[in-house]
Amino acid sequence: MRLMQTVFMFLMVVLVGCAPESREKVLGLNEPLTPKSEGDRITIIRSDYTKGEITDLCAAKIGSARMAFTNMIANAEAAPENFHSTVLTYETVWADLADAVYPLTFMGYTSTDAELRDEGFACEEALSSFGVEMAARKDVYNALRNAIPRNSEEMRLKSETLLGFEKNGLNLPDQDLAKVTELRQLLSKTESEFSQNLNEDVSTVTFTKDDLEGVPEYIVKRFKTDATGNFIVTTKSTDYVGVAENAKKPATRKAILSAYLNRAGAANTKLLETAVVLREQIAAALGYKTWADYRTDGRMAETGDTVLNFLNSLKGKLAQRNADDIQILLEAKKLEEPGATAIEPWDIGYYTNQVKKSKFNLDDELISQYFPKDTVMKGLFKVYSTLLNVNFEEVVNADVWHPDVKMYAIREKSDNSIIAYFYTDLFPREGKYGHAAAFPLISGRMIGSGYSQPVASIVANFTPPTADTPSLLTHDEVETMFHEFGHIMHQTLTRAPYASLSGSSTAQDFVEAPSQMLENWVWNKQILTIVSGHKDTGEPLPDSILSQMLAARNFNQGYFYTRQLVLGLTDMTIHTQSGPVSVDATYDQVYQELLGVKPLENAHFMATFGHMMGGYDAGYYGYIWSEVYAADMFTAFSGNLLDENVGLRYRHEILEKGHMLPEIQIVENFIGRKPTNDAFYKKLGIQ
């Protein structure tokens, strides 16, 4: 899953970056990546802020940007048709602001200091508020409208920039625009509070050793213990999955699921329901029928009805496949509980795991021994290096925000020049962002006569090492790693000239497609030979295990995609209804209708559904929508997943383009024809 936080929710540009002055040692294109003297550290993204410094820097940079916009207006009055002094200046001011402030907001998700995390979130809220303020300025909008583009690239930039303003209501009377701006400010604050609540949640469940029957010892070893010797299990995804998929006792599974689905439960449920009403009011004021119509305007889907038709068209196609999967789980449950008549929510992960072990002879603990994290990363770099014609090099003695974090440079193979940097922050810790995401930190863009060096970071919560065992990744985590690294490549190998249109700043219902396509790599023998190696012997994953994994993958596709439908339809339902809505009741109804499983009582899943307040509201459908294109793009490799020619074409036609062309055209240019849904349906085994 990728949940990239959108900095300016109501602008077309997705602004990311790092302050130039925070680069204590900016490296040249071919400079060695080692310190020149002992104690000299290489810093791209700062993390050693003192108390109050993030707040002060954030305020100062926003103030400077506000002044720059004032100067832009003055220049535009003197030369209203001058594209450089209007649209290009507007673009540059935003990009410079993002380069100065986004690493400050990033600390909210990654800093080890609670006070700095608070400051990071406060900065994010201030930045979003400033974005709302600027999006409502008619003087800025009017200054941009009269500019005359000089080429097709500038035409694209102007049209996308103006669309952002027009979706923000710049055609409204001043009084109505002021009301919309006020609503957006409230919405921005509500979304920020929701995200912070989730990040700061420290929910745990205490279990006895007996309660944890079935949970592998290597997982139990990770848990802290209380004064009585009982085990404290957090609701971080790694701990949660370890118990939910392995604990033999239903009461244990139910307890951990209940805790997981009640993180920030009451507070976040209220915040989300407040946000839904605010969004409805904003959409109505802007002349849209629903918030879904507002959000899809300018995306591939274009309207909320198109999305609903797409999702509903899959319900019937997936119904039987899901029913078959649930029945298999029920049969497995009857082996342990002969009188069982139904699958409960806390059964799904557990019996899926049991079926993998029994029917498909799969053992996740055994499989993970073939995926030591360092082996996976070395193999992943080799695969992406071959495909994309780049090299990856660890930066020695890099200045990072936690000892587990590593920094790398991406070099062009042809001339060894450094074209980008990225970080990996892979293990869970208190206060850290709780899922897996690719955060862009410096946007790619033309600066003077050269191109900036983009910077991004993977933030994940993979299985950590123990005192006597290295980090051993599950195959799901390996798949997630390939997915998130695909985002990193999208963000860092971009060649689009403008920050607002570069990297993964594409239409949101396409942005997942490039990474979803790359998930296929970890199901291929050729690739698994490269990225696997037993922790003791170094032997790659055996063919016999891969065959069993492929069979198991097909087994739960019906449930998996039906679960995605549940999330997508819940999202679209709450964002197409009128008046106050119960997000819990809506989710429970859709969940039971589509999955045929009674939802957990007194749970607040929607309070934990960060996508709804992190930029994917009325947009979660994009995960399935984009997978249609991902499946079609995958056909271009014709079975050879290390085809350098196709890989290079993928880099040039998909990764480098950003949002400089409509996404449908980008896909057509890569596959050489109009896309179809044939490959997607074939993958699911449906007609």
Q: Tens digit of pLDDT for each residue in 504-555?
A: 999 999 999 999 999 999 999 999 999 999 999 999 999 999 999 988 888 8
Checking DSSP bridges between strand 455-459 and strand 418-425, what pairing results, if any? parallel
Mean pLDDT of the chain: 91
> What does the pLDDT average to over 212-218?
94
Instruction: Specify the DSSP class assigned to residue 130.
Output: H
Among 350, 343, 322, smallest CA distance to 246 is for 350
Contact, 189 vs 131, CB < 8 A?
Answer: no
Residue 33 pLDDT class (50, 70, 90 cuts):
low
Residue 668 amino acid letter:
E
pLDDT at 404: 96
Residue 34 pLDDT class (50, 70, 90 cuts):
low
Contact, 428 vs 464, CB < 8 A?
Answer: yes
pLDDT exceeds cutoff 80 at 613: yes
The b/e string for 253-291 (b: 16+ C-beta within 10 A; e otherwise) is: bbbbbbbbbbbbbebbbebbbbbbebbbbbbeebebebb
Contact, 282 vs 294, CB < 8 A?
Answer: yes
Residue 306: in which H helix or E strand, if any? helix 304-336
**Residue 307: both structure tokens together:** 């999305």
pLDDT exceeds cutoff 90 at 646: yes
Does the active-site annotation cover 484?
Answer: yes
pLDDT digits (tens, 9 = 90+) for 126-159: 998 899 889 889 999 999 999 999 999 999 999 9
pLDDT exceeds cutoff 50 at 429: yes
pLDDT exceeds cutoff 60 at 3: no
> What does the pLDDT average to over 348-357?
93
Q: What share of the chain is helix, strand, coil (3-state, %, to 5)?
A: 55, 5, 35
Higher pLDDT residue, 508 or 13? Answer: 508
pLDDT at 13: 31
Domain boundaries, the chain: 20-198, 204-261
What does the radius of gyration of the chain's CA atoms come to, in whole angstroms?
25
At which residue do the structure tokens 């499983």 appear?
597
d(C-alpha 396, C-alpha 219), whole Å? 32
- The one catalytic residue among 484, 512, 627, 653: 484
pLDDT digits (tens, 9 = 90+) for 454-477: 999 999 999 999 888 999 999 999
pLDDT at 9: 30
Q: 424 Cβ partners below 8 Å, 6+ apart?
A: 377, 405, 406, 408, 457, 458, 460
Residue 256: in which H helix or E strand, if any? helix 250-260
pLDDT digits (tens, 9 = 90+) for 64-93: 999 999 999 998 888 889 999 999 999 999
d(C-alpha 622, C-alpha 609), whole Å? 15
pLDDT exceeds cutoff 50 at 598: yes
Q: 45 Cβ partners below 8 Å, 6+ apart?
A: 18, 22, 103, 106, 401, 423, 441, 455, 457
Check if CATH label 1.20.1050.40 holds for domain 20-198. Answer: yes
Among 166, 172, 164, 182, smallest CA distance to 8 is for 164
Among 74, 85, 69, smallest CA distance to 154 is for 85
pLDDT exceeds cutoff 90 at 363: no
In the chain, pLDDT over 70 holds for what percent of residues? 94
pLDDT at 216: 93
